[in-house]
Chain A
């Protein structure tokens, strides 16, 4: 079975500063990895995904994530955040070829002016 750990429930960061949201996963099989974003009062939107190939994945809105198999991590980064990035960010995993997505508890990104 797969699981996802997002250690930070909340991350405050100043506008235009860089940010890293941490995600670790566990699985006994090959996995796909995802980051989803949930803006206030909205649904889940896919930011980026890792299926295979290059370990550095670029997504929408200037976000990127790096898959590190040895550390079982998939941290999300952005070099310069904007007030509009205020949202909840969910790391997720699924078994390669599987149907079911397993989500982490989420990290609330709070942008300070």
Chain B
């Protein structure tokens, strides 16, 4: 069964460093999403992406964040200058038809900022 994959599974970085989290969505999907879950808190929507553009973003997704589909298979989330409060589990999701009712989630990348 096709699945969303994410690399790395765990990333440790120092405050102020740039970090790129990578996702490989399901191959024929066109809609992509990032969510994050700070330890002990709820999963929060960050951004949705379709047709090489951001469709919607949350207030969390400020200028420090960016997303890109650099090629036909990867979808990345970049944090320009990490802060301690960026430590979280980051989930990528993809959908073939768009909308909330058919989003498939990856296993997540745990980001630890020290």
Residues on A with C-beta less than 8 A from B55 are 99
Give the Cβ gap from B31 to chain A, nearest Cβ, in Å.
8
Contact check, A44 vs B91: say whether CB atoms are below 8 A apart: yes
Residues on A with C-beta less than 8 A from B91 are 43-44
Residues on A with C-beta less than 8 A from B96 are none
Give the Cβ gap from B97 to chain A, nearest Cβ, in Å.
11
Contact check, B99 vs A102: say whether CB atoms are below 8 A apart: no
Nearest B residue to A4, CB-CB: B42
Contact check, B105 vs A99: say whether CB atoms are below 8 A apart: no
Give the Cβ gap from B36 to chain A, nearest Cβ, in Å.
11
Residues on A with C-beta less than 8 A from B99 are 94, 97-99
Residues on A with C-beta less than 8 A from B108 are 43
Main secondary structure of the interface of A (DSSP, over half): strand
Contact check, B101 vs A42: say whether CB atoms are below 8 A apart: no
Contact check, B41 vs A105: say whether CB atoms are below 8 A apart: yes
In residues 2-58 of chain A, which contact B (Cβ within 8 Å)?
32, 34, 36, 42-46, 49, 51
Binding site for A on B (CB under 8 A): 4, 31, 33, 35, 41-45, 48, 55-56, 58, 91, 98-101, 103-108
